[in-house]
Amino acid sequence: MKIAAFFDLDGTLIPPPSLERRFLRYLVWRDDLGVANFARWLVRFLLRAPFGSSSAIDGNKAHLAGISESTVREWAGWLDCYPTEFLPVALDRLAWHKTQGHQIFVVSGTLEPLARTFLANNLSVPLIVCATQLESCGGTWTGRTIGEAICGPAKAAKIRQLAACYGLDLARSYAYGDRFADRWMLETVGHPAVVNPSPALRCLARLRYWPVFTWCDPRNLKPLALRAHATKGKQECRASQV
């Protein structure tokens, strides 16, 4: 059976803010999100709140109703003006798993089209992306997800599904996460690792004797200047898209 490495994306491979927040900023910048979008989100939040925060927040994409799928490609071009660095040690760890012949997966609660586009454009390591999928109709998002958002227990369920599909030995596999909600994912493998953890996850890691790593934000590693990009101004970015 094969050995796998499962990586969370936001906060584990890349520093904050999350890809989804970057995308929302782009939509606001384009004036694609207005009061009506956020009102839809709030209504669904209030309806789902009694069923838990994951359903009300992680699985709530009502604000994206009416947004075109093609916006993701335009967003990817916009990101070139505001480069997102991978955490340097994360790149080293990905490369190590590649040299070991491990199957690499990114298992993330972010939107699947964002994760897939971003990783394809910025990372050469072969991997499989499993993230939250959005329902669309005629090339436009409906504001609903296809299945569950890949967060919390759903991450662990997805990993077990992947293990069955790809013939993976979870007892010999690795997982990396930074949020307390990643604990279910970490518990599914024999080699869990906590990366840049929240206080709650750090505490749990001590109790479980899980290794804790700090993969620094490249903005704090000036001497290394790894994979540095020249940051363009916002006006230049807008001009390039005209």
Per-residue three-class SS string for the chain: CECEEEECCECCCECCCCHHHHHHHHHHHCCCCCHHHHHHHHHHHHHHHHHCHHHHHHCCCHHHCCCECCHHHHHHHHHCCCCCCCCHHHHHHHHHHHHCCCEEEEEEEEEHHHHHHHHHHHCCCCCEEEEECEEEECCEEEEEECCCCCCCHHHHHHHHHHHHHHCECHHHCEEEECCHHHHHHHHCCCEEEEECCCHHHHHHHHHHCCCEECCCCHHHCCCCCCCCCCCCCHHHHHHHHC
Q: Are 95 and 186 in contact (CB under 8 A)?
A: no
Model confidence pLDDT, tens digit, residues 58-68: 889 999 999 99
Domains, the chain, in order of start with CATH, read: 4-241 (3.40.50.1000)
Structure tokens at 188: 């599914």
Q: How far is CA 208 from the centre of its chain?
A: 25
| pLDDT at residue number 83 | 64
Q: Between 203 and 85, name the one with better pLDDT.
A: 203
Query: What is the pLDDT, as a whole number, of residue 54?
Result: 67
pLDDT for res 217:
59
Least confident interval from 46-55, 84-93, 106-115, 180-189? 46-55
pLDDT at 79 over 90: no
For 108, the token pair is: 């993330």
Residues of the chain above pLDDT 90, percent: 74
Average pLDDT score, the chain: 87
- Residue 138's Cβ-side half-sphere holds a number of Cα atoms within 13 Å equal to 2
User: What is the pLDDT confidence band of residue 101, given thresholds at 50, 70 and 90?
Assistant: very high
Which is nearest to 241 in space by CA: 82, 78, 71?
78
- Interval 76-80 mean pLDDT: 85
Q: Using pLDDT thresholds of 50, 70 and 90, give the confidence band for residue 224.
A: very low
Question: Could you tell me which residue, 59 or 185, shows the higher pLDDT?
Answer: 185
The stretch 154-168 carries a mean pLDDT of 97
Q: How many Å apart are CA 138 and CA 64, to the nearest integer?
A: 15
The partner residues of 2 in beta bridges, in order of sequence, read 168
Least confident range from 45-49, 117-121, 127-131, 143-147: namely 45-49
| Mean pLDDT in residue range 90-103 | 96
Q: What CA–CA distances, in Å, run from 108 to 152, 153, 206? A: 10, 12, 24
What pLDDT sits at residue 239?
45
pLDDT at 241: 46
